């Protein structure tokens, strides 16, 4: 099964190379919900404190400053403890 990839605090240059700051922004209040990724998603967390629990996998902690790639086809549960604001890109 494909893994969630996390880069903790990537530098500005890396973020600029990816064009992160031109990606749309998604926000969500503290909540819990199931999610399935139809395609790969890369996102950069501006704010938040989240635990993502992949189906049949170990929980992953994600928060401010993390650049995260979720694999296509992964089903998981999002537990948001502190409201999320993130840039995101599919595909």
The pLDDT assigned to 1 comes to: 64
28: which 2 tokens? 């969500």
28 in Cβ contact with 79 (< 8 Å): no
**Would the pLDDT of 13 be above 90?**
yes
Residue among 44, 74, 36, 80 nearest 58 (CA) = 74
pLDDT one-digit tens code per residue, 37-90: 999 999 999 999 999 999 999 999 999 999 999 999 999 999 999 999 999 999
Domain boundaries, the chain: 5-90
pLDDT for 24-38, tens place per residue? 999 999 999 999 999
Question: Residue 2: what pLDDT?
Answer: 79
Q: What is the dihedral of CA 8, 12, 17, 23, to 10 degrees?
A: 80
The helix (H) or strand (E) run that includes residue 14 is helix 12-18
CATH classification number, 5-90, choose in 2.60.120.10, 1.10.630.10, 3.30.465.10, 3.80.10.10: 2.60.120.10
């Amino acid at each position: 099964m494909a893994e969630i990839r996390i880069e903790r605090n990537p530098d500005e240059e890396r973020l600029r190379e990816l064009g992160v700051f031109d990606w749309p922004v998604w926000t969500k209040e503290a909540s819990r919900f199931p999610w399935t990724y139809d395609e790969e998603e890369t996102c950069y967390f501006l704010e938040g404190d989240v635990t993502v629990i992949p189906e049949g996998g170990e929980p992953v902690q994600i928060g401010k400053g993390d650049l995260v790639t979720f694999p296509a086809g992964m089903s998981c549960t999002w537990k948001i403890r502190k409201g999320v604001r993130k840039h995101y890109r599919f595909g």
